[in-house]
Structure 1
Amino acid sequence: MNPTTDAPPAAVPAASAAPSPRAEASAQRTGPLRGIRVVEFGGIGPAPFATMLLADLGAEVVRIDRPGPGGAPVVDPADTVLRGRTIVAADLKDAEAAERVRRLVDRADVLVEGFRPGVMERLGLGPDDLLARNPRLVYGRMTGWGQHGPWADRVGHDLNYLSITGMLHAIGPAEAPAVPLNLVADYGGGAMFLVTGILAALVERAVSGQGQVVDAAMVDGVGQLSHVFRAMLAAGTWSDRRAQNLIDGGAPYYSVYGCADGAHVAVGALEPAFYAALIAGLGDDLEPGVAALDRDDRATWPALRAGLESAFACRTRDEWATHFDGTDACVTPVLTMTEAEGHPHLVARGVFGEWGGRSAPAPAPRLDRTPAVEPVFPPQVAADVGALIDAWDAAQEGPNR
């Protein structure tokens, strides 16, 4: 849909599973968000990840970035999160450039920004200004602390948002909280809730004809993600101490164990039937008496953990993976990211692919009638905002047209 480049899309690896008849009936991979236009203001973290998801689902995403040397946007050739975009440079502090961006937003369905509160307002690009010009606009805001509150203006990262919501305290061994990857606050509590809010606002707009502001805060999202644990805490079935619970590493049958080669396996034998399969599979590698321990008696957990540690240390990770393959013991190898790309199940589903010479996760979730579009990477680069305005004016499709 971008007339400024002739770069063809990179190929998507074919899925091994046969498509459904409904999927075959689809003439092309258009995605369910075909016709939705998104203007993203360049940033890092959860906001660009959210717009990548929208692009995967068929939205046309234009990213506004600050000019680099020579006036063109600087595109990181390794950042596959930028797939599916058209990127254009604009100096938002320049009055004429900012007005061209406003004109582009006049033609958009969704705006996404991840700046600290007040930044967009100072640029004359806040929701009051832009919704007055385009009342159908869904204005998505992504921050860590939210648009209001005593900490709204503070800086922070995933670890900080986790820390004040109580969830960092709950993650890790008994000795100290662990530093998790930025999966929880940035992407789970941030990007996913931003996308949910945007999609909900688009559905509501179909009824009311009006856009609205989506205030997505990572602390809000992490709070939602912690719901089940807080419910158990209130019910007295969860301890506020780390490594004391069923699914926080406290239970020896839901944990990670080292193997003879220094690699690890994950054990998730929570249900009695799965635990029975685990014990049966360990067989003679278990020391005498371990199999007879009452797993429901927490007083036995230290002895049971020691027995499992000793048993798993008898073989390598891959030997255990082969040994337990096809059983209900819930024992799986802990793979590196590189190894994961070659796992037979992930290969069969096409979980990872290659676009523009870069390995990356494939779009998800999967829709049978309007499947995700083929990711384009590297992203396309537009000549200027004016060219995009002309292209959008010339197009006929889309909810605003």
Structure 2
Amino acid sequence: MNVRRSPLGEGATLALSIIAFFFVMTSYYVLRPLRDQLVGAVGSSSLPWFYAVVLVTMLALTPVFGWLVARFPGRRVVATSYLAFIACMVAFIPAFVAQDTIGAKTLGVVFFVWVSVFNLFVVSLFWSFMADIFRSRQARLVFPFIAFGGMGGALLGPLITRLLVERIGVPSMLLISAITLLAALGALMALSARPGDAGAAHGEAVGGSILEGAKSAFTQPFLRYMAILMLLSDGIGTMAYALVADYAKAHFTDNAGRTAFYASLDLWVNGLGAIMQLTLTPLLLRGLGAVWAMVVPSLVNFVLLALLVVFGPADIGVMGFTVPLIAVVMIGSRGMTYGMIKPASDSLYTRMPREARYKGKNFIETAVWRFGDLAVTSALTAARMAGVGISTIGLVCAGVAAIATEIARRAATSPDLLPEDRDR
């Protein structure tokens, strides 16, 4: 394995990278249920406000993030950012102790935005750091192993939360998240402790602005299809997330109980995603190509939403447990997105020219994604206020899933995709 002048052995370099991402994702997935229980405390009616603030914040911080990565050595940016987030976690502990006094809505909007910024900086910085460690050709070989380590963290985080939150309380989970992020930082600093200044390399800058990314998303057929698919497919998941928030508000009265419930959902979502990535997704990508890997999740969404139309907000039996059908819809939709659509779409993005790929993908996965969240939750709130039932909402979303199936097919067969064997 050819890595950039590391005093560590090749195996140790890869192992530390895997360990670092494992702890990054563990930290993040301990935080997610804490954020989601705040949403569950106030219900879906507050989500449009939450997503509006997130959208504005992300649009403001995305160029700041790019400037920091381009301006300062990677080691310094990673260390400073991670330590700042660890300090914030500790600072949030008194706020969660006083959650009932502060109010779930007030604390929720602050923490919801903060977790979104955490995800932008901590996860994105990790992969930028990996790009400094491994050369591009070797990255194709080692990145799947590193991502698999993250998958383990994405399973461990909600499992830890599910097992401990009702014993030690919600505020204490912040300390656990801080400790796991500190462990990730330790592994990354060990990776950067090598001779010379290789660890501070930035890589070739792409340049440009988010406006150029927007232009690419509208002018390139593949990117245009991906933007529409993001709005449609993520809209279904966001709808389910909002309805689950209403369920949590109605069925859980204590903070720890809601947190454990959301941790269980994350565990099921990530478990399904892991199973897909290890079984069906590789078979589809290697055997039938990206087309079916893009289309199958939309077909699954259609079936799940059809069940919602028939049965409404009912509880169903799954493996001896009684669970709300809307939770099954959310687990299926998000699990298939993480486990199948994401690997398939990432493989398609590699067939775009570098400039369009980076700028357009960034715009779609920030501005389009967050705008979709805001639009869907606002429409859902209006529909619920007008007395529209879950079965009707499910019928509309089933139609959306049917449209998404065709858009996914068109994206995977877009005429502007470069041949798979072309060297770029």
Q: Which has the larger radius of gyration?
A: 1
More helix by share: 2
Higher relative contact order (CA closer than 8 Å, sequence separation 6+): 2
TM range (shorter): under 0.3
TM-score under structure 2 length normalisation: 0.23
TM-score normalised according to structure 1 size? 0.24
